[in-house]
Amino acid sequence: MVVVPLVITYSCSKGAFFGCSLEGSIVTTRRRENSRFYGSQTITASDILLGSMPQAPAAAILYHALSDLYSTLS
């Protein structure tokens, strides 16, 4: 048996009502940070997302830790 809560609302008003909601996001490429992290001045976001770049030297410790973790789980 599924219990569905009852919700009752009532509203009474005079005059005008105006409601507005604004939401948004910005996605941008941080070229300088990507160049610094990957050690390449010519790297693009496509190179990173498509995996056409070798592993970033700055993340070597992370790659090693993940490799150790996966080898112990196997």
How far is it, in rounded angstroms, from Cα 33 to Cα 21? 33
> Is the CB of residue 22 less than 8 Å from the CB of residue 32?
no
Domain, as residue range, for 52: 31-73
pLDDT tens-digit series, residues 12-68: 667 776 777 778 888 888 999 889 888 888 989 899 888 888 888 888 898 899 999
In a domain, 6, yes or no: no
pTM: 0.51
In a domain, 3, yes or no: no
In a domain, 13, yes or no: no
In a domain, 17, yes or no: no
Domain count, the chain: 1
In a domain, 51, yes or no: yes
In a domain, 15, yes or no: no
In a domain, 10, yes or no: no
